[in-house]
Structure 1
Amino acid sequence: MPEGENKKFKPAFGGKFSGTLRVLGNEKNEGKGLLFLGNYMALDHSRGAAVYLDALKPHAVLICGKRGYGKSYTMGCMLEELAFLPPAIKEKLASLIIDTMGIFWTMSYPNTSEAGRLKSWDLAPTGLDTEVFVPAGKVEAYKTRNIEVKPFSISIRELSGSQWCRLLKIEEVSPLGIMLVRTIESLREKSEPYSFEDIISEIFRDTRSDSASKGAAENYFRAVKSWGLFLKEGTPLSELISGGRTTVLDISALENENVCAAAVSILAGRLYAERLEARRAYEKQQMGEKQEGKEFPMVWFFIDEAHIFVPAGTESLASEVLINRCLRQGRQPGLSLVLATQRPASLHPDVVSQSDLLICHRLTSSDDILALETSRPLYMQESLRAYLKKMGSERGAALIIDDHSESVHMVRIRPRKSWHGGGEPSALEPGRGEKEETAAQNPQQFA
């Protein structure tokens, strides 16, 4: 047990556990498939017992907190733990993160900057075996910066005429929108992939539209082509997802949030459909029917800056699939969803109410706290504001509300083993030796 650990600290504000193992998300888990999150934090800020999250069953997790207090860092810890599970469990799981900020490609490098702090936790800097995908048109820009990436694309025919109208912010009932929907649906009926050139050719063959609408549509699609995301042939899901893999889809180069939402919508829909089919195959196998082929793994789907994709008060292109399928129904087929945001008040309220695990770092905005308070479970003995006040302002401290065990926990998230790319830059950056000394003197500080 590391120095400074409080052996007598009572681990939870309330709730039930089986045995002495503190496993969030599945009180029946007896010690297999565990993700080490950190240690309980006593009110005097000493370190208590280890806290784990169950990885055997699917979960819906919401991570929130103001900027710089550990939201993305905690996502990184979870990704690391999934990557370091025993092979027998790891091969049945896959991790995919939607990286909106371009900060998770660094996970392949060991976190040498916090080696002293890691040592105080009996951990060591370790890089992950990750694969980073970026929009196909942006690959060369990454390679010039010596960042190894693979191209990702979405087949043009994946989007319906209505989706193209929403993506391009065109009214469906306008002359341009009517022509666009008619053109796209005509091409989709042929059940063959098509290019932007094919769309433009089809537009100019339309005898019912005026030349101004045709010219505008051509300009729109030539602009879309420059994004480098939509191609005639898309990236197969099997290239992104396979058992035991950690995949980063970096969409930070896409400036248009509508485009990002479209990509997430299509990807989430494909993941959900594949897991539904895998679950049917699993049930048949349980009934004694022989199954051929490799099983599609259970997926942990991470999305940073979730308020972009499931906003409050409106709908993005990804809202329907993320809320109605992944969040409300995803656990049954084996799809875990982990959403992170620094603005809970800007998040669709169903995200809070449907999440079975809430990891809340420091919040100071009344609107954000109120958004979480609205769905506060009855088993919480105090208000969320009171718990956050007890937690204090330490970076990396988190209040965890576990709906499975109906309990509330105050936890200090462990340090990252892999390099964290989301830290704030400084004009006065200390040398490596100076960093190590600081970390060794302040092992509880969250850098």
Structure 2
Amino acid sequence: MVVIGRDADETGETVDLGHFRAADGSHGARVALDCEFPHAGLVVGKRGYGKSYTLGVVAEGLARARGVAPVVVDPLGVFTTLASGTVPATVVSEPRVSPGTLPPRAWCGLLGLAPDSAAGAVLWQVASGAETLAAMRRELEDLECSAVARRTVRNHLALAESWDVFAPAGLDAAALATGEVTVLDLAGAPTTAMNAVVRAVATALYEARVVGSVARLPWLLCDEAHVFFDGVAAPALRTLLTRGRQPGVSLLAATQRPGALPDVAVSQADLLVAHRLTDRGDLAALDRARPAYAAESLTAGLPTRPGDVTVVDDTAEAVHAVRVRERDTPHGGASPRAGAVETRRRGAGNLK
């Protein structure tokens, strides 16, 4: 078995990814991904070619590995099937985080108030040091400010409360670093609310490893990553990309729109798993940040069949053609089919 992502003389925990893919499509030797060491990874591919499926395969493997703590950000509700019983997994429905985990600037961005505006300055003050929304409201009523600014901030805090993603005792790193896959089911939440959860979770995992309060190495698997790199979660994700290796925090981001990601998300990836892509902007994004040894493979050589991937391993400076294995748990991201719907009997329900 070949392990992608580490030097040939290194050993340790791995994730079963699949098989090498021969030119005729046949299977070659088995292929695994390294999870003994931290990584910054990117999974890309157009809709319907297996991007989320591959993320699920990695999540399954991480759940069975020792010493890691996989956390899956699930904005579409397609990873809840990981908790089917065949792998150790927990689904957190309607995950909540403590308001105090978000810095004041993040609150301004979250609620769309410019920090240098009157209302933004008030929000900045009430968010400084407050651990709950109730504490922020109390601070607001005691603060000397204009009636207009007070009313604006009050209304925006009410909006944040309506998202139902904040709680005094929200998710912390210890609750996430159990060794099971923790699926954060964010389906149906507003984009801004999802960003708040991801910002808080990514920050908590990073800071916990910096101070050594959790022993396992966290892996944050983030589907639809372009949604979060374009919101208030972006600074925390950038931190994992650029500084996560030293404390041992990995980020595996998946997206069908690599062109919508900042260049750092591609350039910092030491593992790149590429499904089929056809959009010129997305191909150009990979081309801009590609390593020299992978130039042809990331443009003209991308696979065309669902489940086939091109894997760029920057550790070994190598490119591999791989067929992703079948999942052990059901895949919740498959597209529904009209033909699977039971057809009504002819004439039933006809208007008269």
Could you state the TM-score of these two structures normalised by the residue count of structure 2? 0.91
Larger Rg: 1
Residue 160, structure 1, aligned to residue 103, structure 2 = yes
Among candidates 82, 96, 102, match of residue 77 of structure 2: 102
| CA–CA separation in structure 1 for the residues paired with 2:218 and 2:339 | 41
Which residue does 2:175 correspond to in 1? 239
Q: SS of the counterpart of 1:428?
A: helix
Structure 1 residues 59 and 69 mapped into 2: Cα distance closer, same or farther (>3 Å)? same
Task: Answer with 395-404 or 266-275: which moved more.
Answer: 266-275
Match of 2:327 among 416, 425, 439: 416
Secondary structure, counterpart of 1:410 in structure 2: strand
How many corresponding residue pairs? 342
Work out which of the residue numbers 213, 232, 237 in structure 2 matches 1:317.
232
Q: For residues 71-113 of structure 1, give each alpha carbon's deviation from its aligned partner in whole angstroms, at most 9, with x where no partner exists.
A: 010011111112233xxxx1x111101111111111122xxxx
1:76 aligns with 2:56: yes
Query: Is 1:39 equivalent to 2:14 in the alignment?
Result: no
User: Hey, what does 1:445 align to over in structure 2?
Assistant: none
Aligned-residue offset at 1:430: 8.4
Q: Which structure 2 residues correspond to residues 387-406 of structure 1 after superposition, within 5 A?
A: 387-388=301-302, 391=303, 393-406=304-317
Corresponding position: 1:213 with 2:127: no
SS in 2 for 1:178: helix
Distance 1:67 1:296 in 2: 36
1:272 equivalent to 2:272? Answer no
DSSP-derived class of the 1:154 partner: coil
Q: Percent identity?
A: 36
Secondary structure of the corresponding residue to residue 355 of structure 1: coil
Q: Give the superposition deviation at 1:381.
A: 6.5
Mark the CA change 1:183 to 1:28 in structure 2 (over 3 Å): closer, same or farther: same
Question: Quick one: which of 195, 201, 207 aligns to 1:261?
Answer: 195
CA contact (8 A) 1:35 1:54 kept: yes
Q: CA offsets per residue over residues 11-56 of structure 1, 9 Å max, x none?
A: xxxxxxxxxx411001335664221111111111111111111121
SS of corresponding position for 1:387: coil
Equivalence map 1:282-431=2 (5 Å)? 296-311=215-230, 316-323=231-238, 325-380=239-294, 382=296, 384-388=298-302, 391=303, 393-429=304-340
- 2:171–2:201 contact (8 Å) kept in structure 1: no
One-letter amino acid of the structure 2 residue matched with residue 132 of structure 1:
V
User: Which residue of 2 is the match for residue 228 of structure 1?
Assistant: 164
Q: Structure 1 residues 233 and 394 mapped into 2: Cα distance closer, same or farther (>3 Å)?
A: same
1:281 match:
none
Match of 1:203 in 2: 140
Letter in 2 for 1:306: A
Q: Does 1:173 align with 2:116?
A: yes
The corresponding residue for 1:435 is: none
Q: Please state whether the residue corresponding to 2:301 is helix, strand or coil.
A: helix
Shift of 1:380: 2.9
Give, in angstroms, the shift of residue 161 of structure 1: 3.1
1: CA distance, partners of 2:34 / 2:102: 36
The residue that corresponds to 2:30 in the other structure is: 50
Deviations 1:103-124 (A, max 9, x none): 1111122xxxxxxxxxxxxxxx
CA contact (8 A) 2:287 2:295 kept: no
Q: Alignment partner of 1:261: what SS?
A: helix
**Distance in 2 of aligned mates of 1:231 and 1:83:** 27
Contact 1:373/1:383, CA 8 A, preserved across alignment: no
In structure 2, list runs of 5 or more residues that go unmatched.
343-352
Residue 378 of structure 1: CA displacement? 1.7
Q: Cα RMSD over matched residues?
A: 2.0
Offset from partner CA, 1:335-393 (integer Å, 9 cap, x none): 111000000110111111100011000111111111101122122363522212xx3x2
Structure 1: gaps spanning 5 or more residues: 1-20, 110-125, 136-151, 279-293, 432-447
State the SS of the aligned residue for 2:315: coil
Distance 1:53 1:183 in 2: 45
> TM-score, normalising length from structure 1?
0.72
| C-alpha distance after superposition, 1:280-308 (max 9, x if no partner) | xxxxxxxxxxxxxx852111111111111
Equivalent of 1:251 in 164, 177, 186: 186
Could you tell me how far 1:222 is from its partner in structure 2?
Answer: 1.7
SS of the residue aligned with 1:386?
coil
Note the alpha carbon deviations across 1:382-415, whole angstroms, 9 max, x for none. Answer: 3522212xx3x21100011111111111111001
3-state secondary structure, aligned to 1:405: coil
Structure 1 residues 183 and 337, CA gap change in structure 2 (3 angstroms): closer
CA contact (8 A) 1:265 1:322 kept: yes
Q: 1:36 to 1:184 in 2, by over 3 A?
A: closer
After superposition, give the CA deviation of every residue in 1:243-266 in whole Å (9 maximum; x if it has no partner).
Answer: x211011122211x2322222112
Q: 1:163 to 1:384 in 2, by over 3 A?
A: closer
Q: Is the 8 A contact 1:98 1:303 kept in 2?
A: yes
Q: What letter matches 1:246 in structure 2?
A: V
Cα 1:276–1:180 change in 2 (3 A) is: closer
Judge conservation of contact 1:93–1:299 (CA < 8 Å) in 2: yes
Partner Cα distance (1:37, 1:157) in 2:
38
Partner of 1:122: none
